[in-house]
Amino acid sequence: MAIVLMGSNLAYIGSKVSELVTRVFLSVKVAEIYESQFIDRRLVDDRRRQLRAKEVAVVLRRMSGSDIVLGLVDYDAYVPGLNFVFGIALPSLKVAVVFLARLRTPSHRLFTMRVFKEVLHELGHVFGLDHCAVPRCVMNFSNSVIEVDLKSMFFCKHCAKKLAMKGLEINRKYIME
Ligand SMILES: [Zn+2]
Ligand SMILES: [Zn+2]
């Protein structure tokens, strides 16, 4: 996996996310972390002042030949039909992106938790999971930061089993009781 950071001062959260990903997904290795200080203005919808999420995912995917690309982008984003998205995953391209702007809060700890949940959620999609009806499962769909805060960082047994069937082993500490 490659992690691509877009925005300033993301090195710390990037390293924390890298640790998280290798801690949770036992067979995944983070081979490289790229940093780009600048948001690519061509990807911004000027009228909405938001990034076009899908285009960002495609552009980040092209930045690395790694098996999976995970982007952390410090800007707000949308897809047509939705006011905003916290993240996007394109499983066919093996790319996931989490947009940090709406997850920010004065508490660094809470911000990190939100980023962790959204990273695991979007990577879950990359690994073939759909949204999950179990309320606290990390694959539950979140429409607001309140909902992000309410769910856990863990995969329910159902989702963990689906991942295992795809050959993806998860750290048992990240599977709900
Ligand atoms: Zn989702
Ligand atoms: Zn689940």
Catalytic residue (choose from 122, 147, 169, 177)? 122
CA of 139 to the centre of ligand 1 (A): 6
CA of 111 to the centre of ligand 1 (A): 19
Query: Residue 13: its pLDDT value, please?
Result: 97
The ligand minimizing its distance to the Cα of 174 is 2
Express each pLDDT in 59-110 by its tens digit: 999 999 999 999 999 999 999 999 999 999 999 999 999 999 999 999 999 9
Query: Residue 8: its pLDDT value, please?
Result: 92
Full residue range of the structural domain in which residue 11 is found: 2-174
Domain count of the fold of the chain:
1
Express each pLDDT in 47-61 by its tens digit: 999 999 999 999 999
pLDDT-derived band at 177 (thresholds 50, 70, 90) equals confident
Query: Residue 141: its pLDDT value, please?
Result: 96
Express each pLDDT in 6-40 by its tens digit: 999 999 999 999 999 999 999 999 999 999 888 88
CATH number of 127's domain? 3.40.390.10
Express each pLDDT in 119-176 by its tens digit: 999 999 999 999 999 999 999 999 999 999 999 999 999 999 999 999 999 999 999 9
The phi-psi region of residue 147 (left if phi > 0; otherwise alpha if psi is between -120 and 50; otherwise beta) is alpha
* Residues contacting 159, CB < 8 A, separation 6+: 124, 129, 132, 134, 137, 138, 139
CA of 36 to the centre of ligand 2 (A): 33
Residue 145 in tokens = 């930061």
Annotation says 122 is catalytic: yes
Distance of CA 53 to the CA centre of its chain: 12
Query: Residue 148: its pLDDT value, please?
Result: 97
CA of 23 to the centre of ligand 1 (A): 21
The phi-psi region of residue 66 (left if phi > 0; otherwise alpha if psi is between -120 and 50; otherwise beta) is beta
CA of 135 to the centre of ligand 2 (A): 8
CA of 100 to the centre of ligand 2 (A): 23
pTM: 0.97
The ligand minimizing its distance to the Cα of 124 is 1
Contact 144, 105 (CB under 8 A): no
